[in-house]
Structure 1
Amino acid sequence: MIAIIVPAHNEELALEGCIKSLLAAAAHQSLANEPVEILIALDDCNDDSLLVAQRHNVLTHTCNNRNVGMTRAEGARLMLQRGARWLAFTDADTLVPHSWLADQVRFGTDAVCGVVEVMDWSEHSDFVRERYDAHYTPVDGHRHIHGANLGVSAAAYLKAGGFRALAAHEDVYLIEDLERSGATIMWTAANRVTTSARKNCRCREGFGDYLKSLANPLSVG
């Protein structure tokens, strides 16, 4: 079984689009009807995120961590217990393409690090977008790490010790732990997702905060 794990904190507005894109990716013909299970890990939600997920008949798990590393780790643990051989991770404010999951699996590596595209720059100035474009390199061999676009085999994930209980940068530390464990990692620009650039971001020190920091001319891009 292939598992998709999505942490969500008060994501009722974005979650439906995310789930629909995941359901389409799960039905890709090259997966040859291998079962794909989608888990929405609802972390301290007080909106209608649970109802949105239930409308689409995906798995849900509720917790009160307010810690994305802990929530991703809980989701992974639950799906490993259900027999997952591959763990794919994205975020609730993200849309994946139809071939997203199939592409991750077909590379045949222990892990896949893809890239992101911003769906809407309207909350940011042209200056921010220009600085972002100047420093982001969506090419094969890149070294960008995004929890919104990450896949890892169950065996490699367990060998590396899984996600750490960190409120930010849990994805970076997982990849570092995978590298130390000898895992093979595909750094590809072919596997890309579209994500939000909203200023009202859910995770401190994550992608949204990075974009906001670019408005400061003195910050490092």
Structure 2
Amino acid sequence: MVPAHDEAASLPATLRSIRAAARHPALSGVEVVTVVVADACADDTAAVARAGGALVARESFRNVGRARAAGAEAARRLLAAHGDRLWLATTDADTVVPPHWLAHQLRQARAGWDCVVGTVRVAPHPALSAATAARHDAHYFAGRPPGAGAWRHPHVHGANLGVALGPYLVAGGFPPYTYGEDRSLVAALEGTGHRVLRTDACPVVTSGRRDARAPHGFGAFLTALALG
């Protein structure tokens, strides 16, 4: 599921990457539905989403937490036959996921994890200077072990997150926050004793733009680094 506020320009690349991930051989026989929540959009986001093969929920929240929750509920209704076996994978409309993204999450779900919390890499952008990119990486990868060892990282991104429906509901779902809804959900899952995997094994590529859609979101963080 993908929340989107005026993302007609960036959404096609996101949807292409999700379609590619859905075609991974490991997902043979697995039903995959992409839901785009067009939230308070004044552009062609909804039309672009439909053209890209997604199901569209049009809302007027201007609130990413409510948009993600609406996407989860739409998926739950559409795939009701799967019950609590439904897996909710969420990303952002300015993000490209790798071809094995869904296969990776499915593998972890089958291994018994209730939630998969992934990492991001920042794509080059005209607004992102080399100095700001370097500051971001120094901050982001602090504490990462050398080599190819597992990294139980401290980050949470709605752009790279997956959760089983049952634990999602027990934890209360995405709260109606204008930012931090992803971190709050993961904290609730950890607080209720669910198995949360924090892994750098399957990062997504997210935009390096600084015109943030959500206050205090990733774009705002990059802006703060640029000013710092």
TM-score of Structure 1 vs Structure 2, range by shorter chain: over 0.9
* Whole-Å separation in 1 of the counterparts to 2:14 and 2:99: 12
Deviations 1:8-54 (A, max 9, x none): 00001000010010011111110122110000000011111111111
Q: 1:42 aligns with which of 38, 41, 44?
A: 38
Matched, 1:51 2:47: yes
C-alpha contact 1:121 1:129 (8 A) present in aligned 2: no
Corresponding position of 2:147: none
In structure 2, the residue corresponding to 1:10 is in which secondary structure?
Answer: coil
Structure 1 position 16 matched with structure 2 position 2: no
The gaps in structure 2 that reach 5 residues or longer are: 145-149
Quick one: which amino acid aligns to residue 148 of structure 1?
A: A
By percentage of residues, which structure has more strand? Answer: 1
Deviations 1:50-89 (A, max 9, x none): 1111112320000000000001011111211222610000
Amino acid at match of 1:115: T
**Residues 167-186 of structure 1 aligned to structure 2 (within 5 Å):** 167-186=178-197
> Counterpart of 2:56 in 1: which secondary structure?
strand
TM-align CA RMSD:
1.2
- Whether 2:67 is the aligned partner of 1:67: answer no
Q: 2:212 aligns with which of 178, 191, 201?
A: 201
Distance 1:133 1:20 in 2: 27
2:39 is matched by which residue type in structure 1?
D
Contact 1:15 1:92 in 2 (8 A): yes
Per the alignment, residue 135 of structure 2 pairs with: 131
Instruction: After TM superposition, give the deviation of residue 104 of structure 1 in Å.
Output: 0.8
- Distance in 1 separating the partners of 2:52 and 2:210: 28
Helix, strand or coil for the counterpart of 1:112? strand
Partner Cα distance (1:127, 1:57) in 2: 38
Percent same amino acid among aligned pairs? 41
Give the superposition deviation at 1:121.
4.0
**2:88 aligned residue:** 87
Instruction: Give yes or no for contact 1:44–1:64 (8 Å, CA) kept in 2.
Output: yes
Counterpart secondary structure, 1:209: helix
- The runs of at least 4 aligned residues of structure 1 exceeding 4 Å deviation read none
Stretch of structure 1 that moved more, 125-134 or 207-216: 125-134
Select 1:116's aligned residue among 116, 120, 139.
120
The C-alpha deviation readout for 1:160-185, integer Å capped at 9, x for no partner, is 01010000000000000000111101
Aligned to 2:2: 6
- Displacement of 1:129 after TM fit? 1.5
Q: What secondary structure, in the 3-state scheme, does the structure 2 residue paired with 1:40 have?
A: strand
Q: TM-score, normalised by structure 1?
A: 0.93
Asked if 2 retains the 8 angstrom alpha-carbon contact of 1:27 and 1:33, the reply is no
Q: Distance in 1 between matches of 2:53 and 2:116?
A: 27
2:29 corresponds to: 33
What is the deviation of 1:150? 0.2
Q: Report the equivalent of 1:148.
A: 159
Please give the secondary structure, in 2, of the residue aligned with 1:36.
coil
Summarize deviations over 1:135-162 as a string: whole Å, max 9, x none: 1126621111000000000111011010
The two structures have a TM-score, normalised by structure 2, of 0.90
CA distance in 1, matches of 2:98, 2:47: 24
